[in-house]
Structure 1
Amino acid sequence: MSLPRIDFSHLAAFVAACDCVSMSQAADALELTTSALSARLHGLETRLGLKLFARHGRNMLPLPASVFLYNRSLRLLSAEEFLQRRTASATDGAIRSFGVQLDEAYTGTILAHAVLDAIRHVHSIQTACFIDLILSRRSPAEQHTDRAPLISTSSQSLEIAVRCTEGNSRARGASLLPADIWIRAGEAPSDIRTGKETLKDLLIPELPGTLSDDIAHYFSEIRPSYHIAAAAVGLQDYFGIARLLSSHDLLLPRALLPARVAASGPRVSAVPGAPACLIEVAESGDDSVVKAFLAELRRRLATEDPSESRRPFRPAATMRQIGTLNLVLKTGSMRSAARAVGLTAPMIPAQIAQLEAALGTTLMVKGRGGSTPTGSAAELHPMCVGIEHCFNAAIRMSRKVAADFQQSIRIGLPPSWSSDSRTSECMAVALSAFHREYPECHIEVDEGPRDVLHGGIRSGRLNIAIVGRVALQVGSIAIGTSEDISLVVNRRAGFRPHSRRVSADELRRIPLILAPAHVTMHQTLIAALAKATVQLEPVMRLGSIPLIVSIIRRSPFGTILPASVVRKELEAGLVEAFPLDHIVPRRRLWAIFSTENPLSEMERHLIALIKNAFADALEDAKQPLAAAES
């Protein structure tokens, strides 16, 4: 179980900020000050490395990069809200579920808002069945993990789509929801001289499926008097939509008008002669909850005020509490759960108690043999597992989205040797070249030992990491070879080996300062000597390479490092370097990444630049050691 720094409260603030036309309106809806809301949003952006909003005039608009997180936040917050309603109603029995699937291209539209509002309404009147809203891409190249149901036992699904009665996306059958009309939407004021609305040229934004091509073809063939052009601006590109509205009218189905635009009170009118659109529902199964949902959706789509503000989410539980419950039920006891995550025993019961207070139900009962889960805990468990899985996947993939949108890439590196080392120079060359090509991309570099870097890749905290040994469950690309390592000794130690190659016994007699918990080469050296029955015990174990070098420069100690790390000390005659390639041979270096998410083109290009930098520096790496030996 991970202990996330991002929680439902951050996601609720983010969703409100996306839905409301201004930050002050969102803050009022959440009963927060504007500064408190801004702090939550800034914290979310910082922790994800993903810029979610940008200023447009006096307001902040969501960026296209925020679409992924927005859709997953709706799903998670709706599930957490259902848990609250379920426990408040004291409904018994296993939780049933069916999914409602929408293409991600519908995000933020009147249709998408109506779907979510209908789901929340049905949850308010019944809590036996959870309606799972799934907004994801329908591209064949996309992974299907986002379309998996939150509750694994879900057996039904509805797919909602808008289709034109003319063209390639022609409706396949009767619509279960009201037919929709094509509208022209603009922000132009009335003409002062005539008092009439000023109509502008019509532009068709990028619409889901083939709607854009269908309507453009229809008017060019059937009604050529209309002057219509296509615009390469998606419905979730609020900056692009605002720019288009300032000079044109938009042509689109009423249900696909972005809700933020509708809330701003645009000029809207029906387009005469346009073919009808049908809102189709492809369903499987016949269920009373499904019928209730469709009836409510039909009512909301027929309302005359689609800009009605949405009631904000108010999560009561936290992801940490839900994750703790899942861990207790998985391990079988609170004590085992505490051991699994390295917490003290009282911390687990405290989290369970807080979750019980948030949901208003008892989840664990104490007995002589320890605590046992209640029937309520067993019923909620499948959904809690789904929430935790969805939450972790959303946070992990949001960092991937940051890289795809050229905003942020997080790189993990081994502990710094020094500013002069070949590894540092190669990374500096590669990152400088990358920044010249992608100046808008923010690069973050974290340092840590091998296991920490692998953990960062698996959790999604890091996009790429450079390691000397590759563990399981990660992808890898070879980028070059490591430097030859050397025994570096202060001259005042008076060390003189019997031959050019330092023997294991000679190495053991030197007072060494190592960092075996942080540096892979030190781990490798100790393991190699142990096979030769030579036990190497350092006089100091430090976690900082610069500190080790500083001590070696001043005192009669030795350490194990590439010679390039102590280039200045070698030139000043303060230390001597002796090769150890016969004990620890040169190893390959790898760029590792998550196998769950394919590398973006930008990430692949960065790895290629790193690989080229190591290849160019391969011959130069031998020069410092050669100079020292001469």
Structure 2
Amino acid sequence: MAGSMLPLMDKAGFELSLLSKFVLACQSPRLADAAKDLGQTPSALSIALHNLEERLGLKLFERRGAGLDLLPAAFWLFRTGAHLLYLEQHTREARFAGGRRMVKLSVHLDLNFAIGRVSKALLRTSQEMIETAPELLVDWHFSGLDDDDIGDPTGLAQSERLPDKSGQLRIFYGTAATVSAKAVHLYDDPWIVVGNKGSRVDAFQPDERVTLLRMRREIVDAMTRFATEHGFADRLRYRDDEPAQVSAILRDQPQTRLLMPANLMPRRLGLARHEEAPFAPRFVSSIYGETGGAAGSYGKAFLEAMLRNLVAENSAVFTPRLTTRQIHFFNLVAQTGSISAAARVANTAQSSASKHISQMEEAIGAPLLQRTEEGTSLSPRGEDVRAQTVVIEERQDWIVRKAHDIAAHSQARVTIGTLPSSGHDSVLTEKIAHVMTRIHARHPDWQLQIVESSNTMLHEHVRSGDLNLALVGMVQAQVARIRLGPTEPLYVIGNPAISFGGRKELGIEETVALPLVLGRQHLSIHQSFADAARERGLRLKTVVEVGSLALAIAMVRQAPLCTILPPSSVRADIEAGNLIAVPIRHEELSGALSVIFSADRELSEAERIIVQEFVRVFRPGRTATVELPED
């Protein structure tokens, strides 16, 4: 989960309050039910969920008829988002004796994931334990899901506040004959037949076939043995799809009858348009819990609460009160040592930072800072909160980055950054347009977005995950790249009032003596020129520093000034005599283009195709060679 911290503006719109609405909506049979629980209209909730999709760049829902179905990405966000909401609630509500070290309980679920009875009971139990055992932090994993992504979501793996040993709790399918004596029986999950609305699964005929989906091997094997013993094994069919895909399966094959434990067909969004009935002969899959490690009384108490919460399938409701800004400013104050320093880092007014800290203290109900003449330090309660707000912010950042990665892989949604356009007829602009139009023609369903930014910001957005790919000039560290070859030759572009003395070519030394308008802080072309001058020991002094090529060109048109550009950027002005162009010696100044991407993840198929097209257009006849960042 490690990665560069996203700037506050990149997290705007991804508030925990919005995430809590999503989590509740997923647990509700219809959007209207969730809206009623939230005291909102269905349209207002629908708009909020759409805003969440837009912020994450990830499609979560698919409209079917009058309702919504959950896409695979929604199940991922539910798992990760629910734990983030739990951490926020624990941060606010947990009260325990000062100096007492926290305890971690890791819950491993050897079950198929579903937004059903077990998941809801798990969330409600974790919430209850905040009051009964405030020093306990719970994390959970479903077997085979997100194992290599999440790491330790509590952030306690390396914490000095964690005891030498942590407790483990395993929840799994089993039978009385196979489980150990210390295993606790939690729930008997009855098997049901599921079909489309109007399919009369309650009148299921003895000779009809039923389909088993990709479920835990132990329960599939148990059902197969049961079918053999009762003489209906020949009626079983097997399909390599997850139970979460029930809606899509029944939509594509409406005659299909599915056989599964009831927990996998819960009351949740997208499943209100199906019918179910108990399977006969009756069969149940028993769920057990067993503690390990140093779980001790915590594990026992958790299982007892879980047993109570499994009796009814009630939704887990989160009501977060901490905001992204409050958490961000508090972490900055803890890091910098004062509110004023935090405000400077965040580029905001001190009064604004102070206001957010005060609101956070009000939400938590305790002072988090100790303000003295010598500065600001964390209060004892602030120290406890800080240990978790760092994790919350890191996890929030990770969700934003991971959402972009999932969108690229599962939905062919790719955001590409490019250097600022210097003109609609420039060679670079034409080549980028050629790449994108070819990609769109061949893959019209792909969702492509092109954004322009400075060379520096393109690198930052690739590292943060806001951009999948970027076309840059000078390549910085910590990104992977593929070279696209040299840039178009650079020229001094000048106002006709500038006299070049008939020179057909200029060197770096001659160029720095001209009245230059440059954007060294933002523009890759000008950064390359500044580096070339510095290597020669030349002092570069600009008339004006600008942030865009368009402004530099406009100023050169109107006054006796110069800038540095490829001539194709201002071809029409040169032909009309509005500007003049003199080449800079290629051996003294030459640039290169590269396409960059994060080295921390694997490119999706869509991203690979786009990269290959960039190479084909910019380096015809060459192959793409990836250069990874040095350690």
Scaled by the length of structure 1, the TM-score of the pair is 0.86
Match of 1:249 among 248, 257, 262: 257
How far apart are 1:173 and its partner, in Å?
5.3
Distance 2:85 2:566 in 1: 51
Aligned to 2:214: 206
Aligned CA distance change for structure 1 residues 165 and 86 (closer, same or farther; 3 Å): closer
Unaligned runs of 5+ in 1: 619-630
How far apart are 1:315 and its partner, in Å?
0.5
Answer yes or no: is 1:432 the counterpart of 2:437: yes
Aligned residue identity for 2:62: A
5 Å matches for 1:92-103?
A: 93-102=100-109
1:254-294 Cα shifts (integer Å, max 9, x gaps) = 33334427777842314437585554546332321211111
Aligned to 1:621: none
Distance 1:23 1:599 in 2: 35
How far apart are 1:136 and its partner, in Å?
7.2
Aligned to 2:17: 9
Match of 1:609 among 603, 609, 613: 613
Aligned to 2:83: 75
Deviates more, 1:230-239 or 1:3-12: 230-239
Aligned to 1:65: 73
Match of 1:586 among 583, 587, 590: 590
Answer yes or no: is 1:108 the counterpart of 2:112: no
Aligned to 1:625: none
How far apart are 1:12 and its partner, in Å?
0.7
Would the aligned equivalents of 1:202 and 1:227 in 2 still touch at CA under 8 Å?
A: yes
Would the aligned equivalents of 2:411 and 2:446 in 1 still touch at CA under 8 Å?
A: yes
Answer yes or no: is 1:118 the counterpart of 2:125: yes
Aligned residue identity for 1:133: W
How far apart are 1:339 and its partner, in Å?
3.1
5 Å matches for 1:175-574?
A: 175-178=183-186, 180-181=188-189, 183-187=191-195, 196=203, 201-208=209-216, 212=220, 215=223, 219=227, 223-237=231-245, 239-243=247-251, 246-260=254-268, 266-272=275-281, 276=285, 278-279=287-288, 281=290, 283-301=292-310, 303=311, 305-306=312-313, 308=314, 310-498=315-503, 500-504=504-508, 506-552=510-556, 556-574=560-578
SS at match of 1:233: coil
Aligned to 1:622: none
How far apart are 1:92 and its partner, in Å?
7.0
Aligned CA distance change for structure 1 residues 161 and 133 (closer, same or farther; 3 Å): closer
Deviates more, 1:287-296 or 1:101-110: 101-110
Would the aligned equivalents of 2:111 and 2:171 in 1 still touch at CA under 8 Å?
A: no
Aligned CA distance change for structure 1 residues 137 and 446 (closer, same or farther; 3 Å): farther
Distance 1:479 1:104 in 2: 48
| Aligned length, in residue pairs | 606
How far apart are 1:471 and its partner, in Å?
1.8
Aligned residue identity for 1:317: L
Distance 2:609 2:152 in 1: 30
Would the aligned equivalents of 1:184 and 1:202 in 2 still touch at CA under 8 Å?
A: no
Distance 1:586 1:135 in 2: 53
RMSD: 3.4
Deviates more, 1:26-35 or 1:537-546: 537-546
SS at match of 2:185: coil
How far apart are 1:614 and its partner, in Å?
0.5
Aligned CA distance change for structure 1 residues 149 and 312 (closer, same or farther; 3 Å): closer
Unaligned runs of 5+ in 2: 623-631
Aligned to 1:21: 29
Would the aligned equivalents of 1:183 and 1:252 in 2 still touch at CA under 8 Å?
A: yes
Match of 1:156 among 166, 170, 174: 166
What is the percentage of aligned positions where both structures have the same residue? 27
Aligned residue identity for 1:257: M
Aligned residue identity for 1:519: L
SS at match of 2:350: coil
Would the aligned equivalents of 2:197 and 2:273 in 1 still touch at CA under 8 Å?
A: no
Distance 1:559 1:577 in 2: 10
Aligned CA distance change for structure 1 residues 207 and 329 (closer, same or farther; 3 Å): same
Would the aligned equivalents of 2:408 and 2:606 in 1 still touch at CA under 8 Å?
A: yes
1:492-519 Cα shifts (integer Å, max 9, x gaps) = 5443344x33134543454433222321
How far apart are 1:415 and its partner, in Å?
1.0
Would the aligned equivalents of 1:75 and 1:134 in 2 still touch at CA under 8 Å?
A: no
Match of 2:600 among 588, 596, 601: 596
Aligned residue identity for 1:431: M
Aligned to 1:143: 148
How far apart are 1:55 and its partner, in Å?
0.9
Distance 2:621 2:582 in 1: 21
1:61-85 Cα shifts (integer Å, max 9, x gaps) = 2211222222111001111112232
SS at match of 1:37: helix
Aligned CA distance change for structure 1 residues 265 and 361 (closer, same or farther; 3 Å): farther
